[in-house]
Amino acid sequence: MDIEHIRKICVTGAGQMGAQIAIQAALSGFNVALHDVNAEQLEKAVSGNRKHLDRRVAKGKMAAEDVEAAFARLVPTTSLEEACRDADFVIEAVVEILDVKREVFQRLEKLCPTRAIFATNSSYLGNSELASATERPDRVVNMHFFYPPLVMKLVEVVKGEATSDATVALTAEVARRLGKQPVVLHKELPGFLVNRILRAITNEAYFLLENGVASFEDIDRACEMGLNHPLGPFKLGDFSGLDIGYEARLENFRKTGNPEDRPAASLERRVKRGDLGRKSGRGFYDYSTDPPSPTED
Ligand SMILES: NC(=O)c1ccc[n+]([C@@H]2O[C@H](COP(=O)([O-])OP(=O)(O)OC[C@H]3O[C@@H](n4cnc5c(N)ncnc54)[C@H](O)[C@@H]3O)[C@@H](O)[C@H]2O)c1
């Protein structure tokens, strides 16, 4: 199968990621079925997409006819059977629970044409864990988008133990057709590329802070002005939510038991106080001032 044979894309899971991936695919000219088990979630997905795209039309960034044409190509449904009918390519974006994803892949196997490729948008699970629930492991791949997928350009494509080179190449081409820039991982590795690099930088930033080498605001400045990062690691932590970073580190520490993986004390104290970053108004920085000011620990 080559890219010209991919006409219909099925996106299953219409949450934060799936909803925008689906409309991006429709805007790129594909026929799209957007599936979710929850009808309300589907309505939310459509109205959310409408809001985003109406804003782009109002700003003159997009033509109203193109947006209407995309909505005409997108069919929301709670029937997986209908969504899978004639699907050439499936993007799975359901909740990050292995058993749920494996069950979805088992159902996809039964309902989709044999030619269809199954791509998972999972943030952490390698596709091999899902491929074994199907009879087409050579056509199962990771296709990892970034939030918000209507805006973020990068897609990580990961080759699993059994993924064929043809599947990797075709998935990268689908990403390009969606207006994205694919990067290919030749092996499965937890965290893929971006989250591994981010974790390495963040771990070093906490090491420097906890050891009294520099203040967090100077570490942020160093990354912004010396490496040209748009946000230093502590500002980025505030932006994504300190609780998210804390929970991920705690989970990793529980797995490895390595004291070096324990969440940093300066992070833990803030999370326990409810200082979660921008969303709570205060994290490493205080967002009640303009510009935000560094907080005392
Ligand atoms: N949010 C992010 O920043 C982000 C970024 C990259 C990748 N991801 C990955 O994308 C996937 C989805 O994440 P999200 O943030 O969109 O989650 P979300 O909770 O917003 O959406 C998940 C959706 O899956 C639906 N769902 C649950 N079980 C289902 C089933 N059996 N069949 C069909 N739909 C089902 C839920 O109703 C919900 O609408 C996860 O694997 C996550 O790791 C998330």
In the chain, where are the structural domains located?
3-185, 196-294
Q: What pLDDT digit, counting tens, does each position of 111-170 carry?
A: 999 999 999 999 889 999 999 999 999 999 999 999 899 999 999 999 999 999 999 999
For ligand 1, the distance from its centroid to the CA atom of residue 254, given in whole angstroms, is 24
On the 0-12 / 13-18 / 19+ scale of CB atoms within 10 A, 156 is: buried
CATH fold of 196-294 reads: N-(1-d-carboxylethyl)-l-norvaline Dehydrogenase; domain 2 (1.10.1040)
Taking the CA of residue 97 as reference, the ligand 1 atom at the shortest distance is 41
- Buried (b) or exposed (e) across 94-117, using 16+ Cβ within 10 A? beeeeeebbebbeebbebbeeebb
Taking the CA of residue 123 as reference, the ligand 1 atom at the shortest distance is 43
Is 121 catalytic? The answer is no
In CATH, the architecture of 3-185 is 3-Layer(aba) Sandwich (3.40)
- Asked whether the beta carbons of 34 and 73 are under 8 A apart, the reply is no
Q: What pLDDT digit, counting tens, does each position of 50-67 carry?
A: 999 999 999 999 999 999
What is the pTM assigned to this prediction? 0.91
- Quick one: pLDDT at residue 1? 87
- Give the closest residue (by CA) to ligand 1 atom 12: 93
